[in-house]
Structure 1
Amino acid sequence: MLKEIIIAIESYFKAHQFIRQHNLWRWIIIPGIIYMLLFMAGMYFFLISSNSAVNYLSNLIGIDNWLQQQKSPLLSFIFMMGNIMVRLLLVFFYFSLFKYLFLIIGSPILAYLSEKTESILEGRDFPFSFPQLMKDIVRGIRLALRNMLWQTVYTISILILSFIPVLGWISPMLSLFTECYYYGFSMMDYSCERRKMSPAESVRFISDHKGLAIGNGLLFYLMHAVPVIGWILAPTYAVVAATLSLRQLKN
C-alpha cells in the first residue's frame, strides 16, 4: 500500500507537468472555480453552525456542569481534547457533503478531463457519444450516492469513537483517511469506467489498490492549505493524477 501511496503522490507532480505541456488550463480553471465556490459556501455554513452543534450536544449530555463539579484539570483537558476532535470530525463531515455535491455537478467535466488525459497518453481519440456521456453521469451519481452512504456509516462510527477519552483522539486521523479513500475512489473510477468495468468490478479493483485512492485523496486535501489557488487546482489535478497513476500501474 505504501508504494501505491507514493505513486499517487508523485502523480500530482507529473499532472502539473502534463497540464502545462498540453495546455489543459481551460479544463482546470472552470471546474476549479465551481469547486472553490462550493468549498467557501461549505466552510461558511460550517462556521455558523458548528459551534451551535457542539454546544447543543455538550448541554444535552451535561458535560460542562459535570466537569465544574469534578474540578479536575486532567478531566477538563481530556474533554477539551474531545471537543477539538468532534469539531475536526464536523469539518470532515462538511467536506463530505459538498464533495459529493461537486462530484455530481462536475461529473461531466471531470469525466471528460480524465478521458482527455488518457487520449493524449495513448495518442488516440475517444469518440464522443451523448448516450455514453449520460450513462457515465448516471454511473457517477450512483457511485457517489453509494460512497456517501458507506462514508456516512463510517463517519457515525468514528464520531461515536471520538467520545471515548484518549482513544477517541485518533478519530480525526481515521476520518481523514476515510475521506481520502473515497475521494480518490471517485477520481479513479473515471478510468475504470473506460476500461468497461462494472460498478461492482470498479469497487473491487479500487479496494485492491487502496493506496492509490488514499494517496490521491491525501494530496487533494493537502492542496487546500494553499488558499484560493489550491482550492481551484485541487479537484482537477486530482483527476489527472489519478489517470496518470493508473496508467503507471498498468505499465
Structure 2
Amino acid sequence: MLKELIIAFESFYKAHHFIVQHKLWRWILIPGIIYMLLFITGMYFFISSANDAVNYLTNLIGIDRWLQEQKSGILSFLFMMGGIMVQVLLVFFYFSFFKFFFLIVGSPVFAYLSEKTESIIEGRDFPFSFKQLMKDIIRGIKLALRNLLWQTVYTVSILLLSFIPLIGWISPLISLFVECYYYGFSMVDYSCERRKLSPAESIRFISEHKGLAIGNGLLFYLMHAIPFLGWVLAPSYAVIAATLSFREMEKK
C-alpha cells in the first residue's frame, strides 16, 4: 500500500504540470469556485450548530454538573478532550455529507475532466454520447449513495469510540482515513468506469488498491489547509491526479 500512496502523492504534482501544460484552467476554476462558495457557507452554519449540539448534549446528560461535584482536574481534562474529539468528528461527519452532495452534483464535470485527461494523454478523443453520460451520472450517484451509507456506519461507530477516554483521542485520525478512502474511491472510479468495470468490479479493484484512494483523498483534504486557493483547486486536482495514478498503476 505504501507504493500506491507514493504514486497517489506524485500524481498531484504531475496533475499541476498537466493542467498548466494543457491549459485546463477553465475546467478547474468554474467548479472550484462553486465548491469554495458552498464549502464556506456550509462550514459557517455547521460549526455554529455543532457547538450548540455538543453543549446541549453535555447539559442534557449533566456532565458539567457531575464534573463540578467531582472536583477532579484529571477528569475535567479528559472530558474536555473528549468534547473536542466529538466536535472534530462532527465536522468530518458534515464533510462526508457535503462531499457526497458535491460529488453527485459535480459528477458530469468530474467525469468529463477525467475523460479529457485520458484523451490528451492518448492523443485521441472519446466520442461524446449523451446516453453514456447519463449512465455515468447514474452510476456515480449509486456508488456515492452506497459509499455514503457505509461511511455513515463507520463514522457513527467512530463517534461512539470517541466517548472512551484516551482511546477516543485517536478517533479523528481513524475518521480522517475513512474520509480519504471514500473520497479517493469516487475519483478513481471514473477511470474504472471507462475501462468498462462493473460497480462490483470497481469496488473490488479499489479495495485491493486502497493506497490510491487514501492517498488521493488525503492530498485533497491537505489542500484545504490553503484557504480559498486550495478550496478552489482541490476537487479538480483530485480528479486529474486519480486518472494519472490509475494509469501509473496500469503500467506497473
Q: Do structure 1's residue 21 and structure 2's residue 21 form an aligned pair?
A: yes
Q: Which residue of structure 1 aligns with residue 5 of structure 2?
A: 5
Superposed, 1:92-171 pairs within 5 Å as: 92-171=92-171
**Number of the residue aligned with 1:76:** 76
Separation of aligned partners in 2, 1:178 and 1:14: 25
Task: Tell me if the contact between 1:180 and 1:213 (Cα under 8 Å) persists in the aligned partners.
Answer: yes
Could you tell me how far 1:47 is from its partner in structure 2? 2.1
Alignment gaps of 5+ in structure 2: none
Aligned 8 A contact 1:31 1:106 in 2: yes
Q: 1:60: how far off?
A: 2.1
Distance 1:65 1:126 in 2: 65
5 Å matches for 1:32-111? 32-111=32-111
Tell me by how many angstroms 1:127 deviates: 0.4
Backbone CA RMSD of aligned residues:
0.7
TM-score, scaled to structure 1:
0.99
Matched residues, number: 251
TM-aligned CA deviation for residue 243 of structure 1: 0.2
Shift of 1:34: 1.3
CA distance in 2, matches of 1:42, 1:146: 23
Identity %: 78
Amino acid across the alignment from 1:161: L
Q: Which residue of 1 aligns with 2:193?
A: 193
Counterpart residue type for residue 130 of structure 2: F
Q: Specify the alignment match of 1:218 in structure 2.
A: 218
- Alpha-carbon distance in structure 1 between the residues aligned to 2:56 and 2:175: 22
CA positional deviation for 1:40: 0.8
TM-score (normalizing by structure 2):
0.98
Aligned-partner Cα distance in 1 for 2:72–2:22:
62
Flag structure 1 segments of 5+ consecutive residues without an equivalent. Answer: none
Partner Cα distance (2:118, 2:62) in 1: 56
CA contact (8 A) 2:47 2:91 kept: no
Point out 4+ residue stretches in structure 1 off by more than 4 angstroms: none
Q: Give 1:217's aligned amino acid.
A: G
In the alignment, is the contact (CA less than 8 A) between 2:7 and 2:245 conserved in 1? yes
Cα deviation for residue 42 of structure 1 reads 1.5
